[in-house]
Amino acid sequence: MSEIEYHGWIVLASSHDEWADDDWGRALANVAERVSEFATENGHAVTVTEPTNSMQTLSLHGLTDEPPDRVLQLVEFIVSVLDSSYGEMIIAPAVRFDWSAARRYRLSNGKLTACDS
Protein backbone atom coordinates (compact mmCIF):
# COMPACT_ATOMS: atom_id res chain seq x y z
CA MET A 1 0.00 0.00 0.00
CA SER A 2 1.28 3.50 -0.77
CA GLU A 3 1.74 6.15 1.86
CA ILE A 4 -0.91 8.69 2.73
CA GLU A 5 -0.56 12.08 4.36
CA TYR A 6 -3.40 13.36 6.49
CA HIS A 7 -4.20 16.41 8.59
CA GLY A 8 -7.26 17.29 10.60
CA TRP A 9 -8.88 18.55 13.75
CA ILE A 10 -11.95 17.66 15.78
CA VAL A 11 -13.62 19.66 18.53
CA LEU A 12 -14.82 17.15 21.11
CA ALA A 13 -18.39 17.87 22.20
CA SER A 14 -21.48 16.14 23.53
CA SER A 15 -25.17 17.02 23.46
CA HIS A 16 -25.82 15.13 26.70
CA ASP A 17 -26.86 17.94 29.04
CA GLU A 18 -27.46 15.47 31.85
CA TRP A 19 -23.84 14.26 31.81
CA ALA A 20 -21.82 14.83 34.94
CA ASP A 21 -18.06 15.45 34.93
CA ASP A 22 -17.54 11.70 35.44
CA ASP A 23 -19.49 10.91 32.25
CA TRP A 24 -17.39 13.39 30.27
CA GLY A 25 -14.25 11.92 31.80
CA ARG A 26 -15.24 8.38 30.80
CA ALA A 27 -15.98 9.50 27.24
CA LEU A 28 -12.59 11.22 27.00
CA ALA A 29 -10.89 8.12 28.41
CA ASN A 30 -12.55 6.01 25.69
CA VAL A 31 -11.33 8.44 23.02
CA ALA A 32 -7.82 8.54 24.52
CA GLU A 33 -7.68 4.73 24.57
CA ARG A 34 -8.55 4.56 20.88
CA VAL A 35 -6.11 7.38 20.05
CA SER A 36 -3.33 5.45 21.80
CA GLU A 37 -3.57 2.83 19.02
CA PHE A 38 -2.12 5.38 16.57
CA ALA A 39 1.61 5.08 17.22
CA THR A 40 4.20 7.61 16.14
CA GLU A 41 6.36 4.67 15.01
CA ASN A 42 3.71 4.02 12.35
CA GLY A 43 3.68 7.63 11.17
CA HIS A 44 0.81 9.02 13.26
CA ALA A 45 0.66 12.16 15.38
CA VAL A 46 -2.82 11.99 16.90
CA THR A 47 -3.30 13.75 20.23
CA VAL A 48 -6.03 15.04 22.48
CA THR A 49 -5.08 18.61 23.34
CA GLU A 50 -5.37 20.33 26.70
CA PRO A 51 -8.68 22.17 27.19
CA THR A 52 -8.77 25.82 26.12
CA ASN A 53 -11.72 27.94 27.22
CA SER A 54 -13.67 24.74 27.98
CA MET A 55 -13.02 23.45 24.45
CA GLN A 56 -11.04 20.26 23.91
CA THR A 57 -9.77 19.23 20.50
CA LEU A 58 -8.18 16.26 18.81
CA SER A 59 -5.29 16.95 16.46
CA LEU A 60 -4.78 14.40 13.66
CA HIS A 61 -1.68 14.34 11.47
CA GLY A 62 0.27 11.59 9.82
CA LEU A 63 2.42 10.19 7.08
CA THR A 64 1.78 6.46 7.07
CA ASP A 65 1.43 3.41 4.89
CA GLU A 66 -1.62 2.29 6.86
CA PRO A 67 -4.97 2.51 5.05
CA PRO A 68 -6.93 5.77 5.31
CA ASP A 69 -9.97 3.81 6.51
CA ARG A 70 -8.25 3.33 9.86
CA VAL A 71 -8.12 7.09 10.49
CA LEU A 72 -11.69 7.55 9.26
CA GLN A 73 -12.89 4.79 11.60
CA LEU A 74 -11.30 6.69 14.49
CA VAL A 75 -13.31 9.77 13.55
CA GLU A 76 -16.52 7.72 13.34
CA PHE A 77 -15.75 6.18 16.75
CA ILE A 78 -15.31 9.64 18.28
CA VAL A 79 -18.69 10.84 17.06
CA SER A 80 -20.29 7.64 18.39
CA VAL A 81 -18.96 8.52 21.86
CA LEU A 82 -19.18 12.32 21.68
CA ASP A 83 -22.12 12.98 19.38
CA SER A 84 -21.75 16.74 18.91
CA SER A 85 -18.10 16.63 17.89
CA TYR A 86 -17.21 18.44 14.69
CA GLY A 87 -14.16 18.97 12.52
CA GLU A 88 -12.44 18.50 9.19
CA MET A 89 -9.78 16.26 7.68
CA ILE A 90 -7.81 16.03 4.46
CA ILE A 91 -6.21 12.82 3.16
CA ALA A 92 -3.96 12.54 0.11
CA PRO A 93 -1.46 10.12 -1.39
CA ALA A 94 1.96 11.10 -0.02
CA VAL A 95 3.87 10.15 -3.17
CA ARG A 96 2.55 13.07 -5.16
CA PHE A 97 0.83 15.11 -2.49
CA ASP A 98 -1.52 17.40 -4.34
CA TRP A 99 -3.96 19.53 -2.36
CA SER A 100 -6.32 19.71 -5.33
CA ALA A 101 -6.55 15.90 -5.53
CA ALA A 102 -6.83 15.36 -1.78
CA ARG A 103 -9.99 13.88 -0.26
CA ARG A 104 -11.67 16.23 2.22
CA TYR A 105 -13.97 15.12 5.01
CA ARG A 106 -16.29 17.02 7.33
CA LEU A 107 -17.60 15.83 10.67
CA SER A 108 -20.83 17.57 11.65
CA ASN A 109 -24.29 16.72 12.90
CA GLY A 110 -23.08 13.29 14.00
CA LYS A 111 -21.89 12.27 10.53
CA LEU A 112 -18.60 12.00 8.69
CA THR A 113 -19.08 13.14 5.09
CA ALA A 114 -16.69 13.12 2.14
CA CYS A 115 -16.67 16.57 0.54
CA ASP A 116 -15.94 16.18 -3.15
CA SER A 117 -14.91 19.27 -5.03
CB neighbour burial string for 71-100, b if at least 16 within 10 angstroms, e if fewer = bbebbeebbebbeebbbebebbebeeeeee
Residue 47 pLDDT grade (very low, low, confident, very high; cuts 50, 70, 90): very high
Model confidence at 42: pLDDT above 90? yes
- Give the predicted TM-score (pTM) of the model: 0.88
What is the C-alpha to C-alpha distance for residues 22 and 27, in angstroms, rounded to an integer?
A: 9
- Residues 55-81: tens digit of each pLDDT: 889 999 999 999 999 999 999 999 999
Query: What is the reported pLDDT for 117?
Result: 52
Q: Which domains does the chain have, with CATH numbers?
A: 4-115 (3.30.70.100)
Residue 31 pLDDT grade (very low, low, confident, very high; cuts 50, 70, 90): very high
